[in-house]
Amino acid sequence: MSVFKTLRFPTANIPPEGATHTGEITFQNLAIEPEDRFAFPSPLHFTFNLTIVNNDVVVTGKLSGVIEVMCDRCTDNAPCKVEVDDVFHRYENVIGDIIDLTDDIREDILLVFPQSFLCSDACRGLCPSCGSNLNRERCTCTNKADADPDNPWRQLDSLKLK
């Protein structure tokens, strides 16, 4: 599989039946930088079909890859599959030019990034008092809010509900 540094393709070389490009590109080459919540351990795999339709170039294809995402409950990193199965872009009047798919593909990828993420449905998160990861260890701290006699919320514990 070819490794691409850019997603720039010359349109003059596209045959009448179309051209297929398969390869991989790093997230950094798509100008997607790692953040606190995301890491990119491996490149993004793609297959693009470029077809000429009435002096326009139509690009269809698929993208897939794996990113590391920080869990919203326990802050551990876990793999998350990223897939775009319906890439479709049309570039008008570009015959003889070079088309650059970078901006459009970056947008396609960013739209499928998870807005919230859990490492598993059974994730127990962190202890609100001591910060222990409850998935790995049992918390032995006493909840300081329960032990404080001046805590106004403590009175709710004695409330009898029907």
Domain co-membership, 107 together with 146 = no
Residue 29 in domain: yes
Q: What is the domain range of residue 140?
A: 122-151
* pLDDT grade for 114, boundaries at 50, 70 and 90: confident
The per-residue pLDDT for range 84-113, each reduced to its tens digit, is 999 999 999 888 889 999 999 999 988 998
Cα–Cα distance for residue pair 138/131, rounded to 1 Å: 11
Residue 160 in domain: no
Cα–Cα distance for residue pair 131/50, rounded to 1 Å: 51
Q: Total domain count for the chain?
A: 2
Domain co-membership, 138 together with 104 = no
Residue 87 in domain: yes
Domain co-membership, 79 together with 147 = no
* pLDDT grade for 52, boundaries at 50, 70 and 90: very high
Query: Once rounded to an integer, what is the mean pLDDT over residues 14-24?
Result: 92
The per-residue pLDDT for range 116-155, each reduced to its tens digit, is 999 999 999 999 888 899 999 988 876 655 556 777 777 7
Domain co-membership, 114 together with 54 = yes
Cα–Cα distance for residue pair 26/24, rounded to 1 Å: 7
pTM of the model: 0.73
Domain co-membership, 80 together with 136 = no
Residue 90 in domain: yes
Domain co-membership, 68 together with 130 = no
Domain co-membership, 47 together with 59 = yes
Domain co-membership, 10 together with 86 = yes
Based on DSSP, count helices (H) and strands (E) in the chain, helices before strands: 2, 8
Residue 96 in domain: yes
Which residues, listed in sequence order, are joined to residue 145 by a DSSP beta bridge?
Answer: none
Residue 69 in domain: yes
Residue 48 CB-density burial (10 A; 0-12 exposed, 13-18 middle, 19+ buried): buried
Residue 125 CB contacts under 8 Å (≥ 6 apart), including other chains: 73, 74, 134, 135
Domain co-membership, 129 together with 76 = no
Domain co-membership, 27 together with 91 = yes
pLDDT at 1 over 90: no
Query: Once rounded to an integer, what is the mean pLDDT over residues 28-40?
Result: 80
- For the chain, the average pLDDT equals 87
Task: Look at residue 83 in the predicted model and tell me its pLDDT.
Answer: 94
pLDDT at 74 over 90: yes
Domain co-membership, 64 together with 48 = yes
Task: Look at residue 46 in the predicted model and tell me its pLDDT.
Answer: 94
Domain co-membership, 65 together with 145 = no
Cα–Cα distance for residue pair 3/46, rounded to 1 Å: 10
